[in-house]
Structure 1
Amino acid sequence: MTNLEAFMLALIQGLTEFLPVSSSAHLILPSAVLGWADQGLAFDVAVHVGTLLAVLGYFRKEVVQLLNAFFGSIFKKERSKDAMLAWMIVLATIPAGLFGLFVKAFDIVDLYLRSPWVIATTCIVFGALLWWVDRRASCQVNEYETTPKSALLIGLAQAMAIIPGTSRSGATMTAALYLGYTREAAARFSFLMSIPIIVLAGGLLSISLAKGEAPIMWEPMLIGVVVSFISAYLVIHWFLKLVTRVGMLPFVIYRILLGFGLVFFLSMHG
């Protein structure tokens, strides 16, 4: 991997991880369309670290409050809205964690789903679903009003995002909007619940990396961490300010254009 490829892939990861457009799709496409070599486990770990640092840094105040309330609810039996939200984030993480372990055990994604045709289909289908839900959203619920039922439903949507092209943030925001969340609350809950899932995914990748014997290229990894951190941090800040004003339509249009553009490309080169 060249430093230019590392920069571009890290930029793609940072720009798309928290937008409802699918980071996995954008990371798979360069190898499928441009013929780039697979970035490898070490680089995957690096960009996961970068995006994790970005969301932790942006929501540092909320994360500290949620952790304090979470442990306070365990050891001091305290009950607060922060403690409830923390438990709902944990509950929402369970479906994706279990489903992720299942598909990894049977290597389902790599064997059957890492296909440009799958990405094209999911980009279009889930983009249209996001548009339909966003148009009908009542936008009345905030993240602190999350119930166990809502958390599980949003968690199931997050589990579906293991399919490349679906988009973790897109699926969770779609589910939250369907349940009546405001657009900002849907985005904030999606971003907060990304923290444990990125930690889990990064941990599994790190274990696989530790078991391997491939040499690690430290310079591309450093580029991956720094570029993905900066771009992801800016995206979170920008998206939270923009989504309440313009809604999801720009991302819907982008997803559908990307999907049909990929279909055209694959048809021409099939």
Structure 2
Amino acid sequence: MMRTAFFLLFLATTFGIASAAPPQDPLQSPNWQDMAERLLSGHAIEFDERVKISVPSTVENQAQVPVTADARALPNVVKMIVFADLNPIQHALTLTPGQAAPFISFRMKIEQATPIRAAALTSDGVWHVGGIFLNAAGGGCSAPAVGRGEASWSETLGQASGRLWREADGFSRLRFRIRHPMDTGLAKDNTPAYYIERMEFKGNKGEPLALLEMYEPVSQDPTLTLLVRLPAGDTALDVQGRDNNGAIYRSSVPAPWRQSILAPTKQLLEQGPARC
């Protein structure tokens, strides 16, 4: 028996096959242990005040709850996820920053009052977790998309608009919106899940800048704010999305402060929002 225990300890310390139990949850969520094991497994976990989650104090629309996750106070963030413990579908999105800051603002559906968390994975293999309790009424995940009631909803599917602003720290702030029902598959009308599952943000020459994986809890007509570092000389940021039915959406958001000095690309500013 002692030989077996010693051998298991040797394997754990040598090959890293065992991981410590998740730390005690300051928000005392009944689902924390399950969330940690399912979404954060394989790495050390610690609660960290440097990972900030912002939500409104009063929720007016459970299908459109503003959420901001900010881990810019941490160095070397390689991935960030946002999830809601007590949602029927907990995982909202995963951001792989690349040339972007570990920051995202978006809207999500909430089924009931729940902890909302952001977890940032740093290059040393540690998940840093921040969270806040959102007090809200329910029904956001099981309500059908509002746009489904409009006969022309499919005609506006994939239409996009966006804008870039130059930030003092060298990043560009992107505000981007794309028309899509983002159905969860949980509505009583039996509408199947239909949502944008992947968005890639690239420079003019195709350089990958950031990757965003989205899931059913992201609200209808996703509206996103990111901080992206544009490559030198690029006059626009390209966006490519894909939904779970395989449809591809493409758009380009101009950087006005760079285009104003490049006459050949000035026309891009006059075209208005791009249609995917």
TM-score by length of 2: 0.23
Q: Which has the higher contact order (CA 8 A, sep 6+)?
A: 1
Structure with the higher fraction of residues in strand conformation: 2
TM-score by length of 1: 0.23
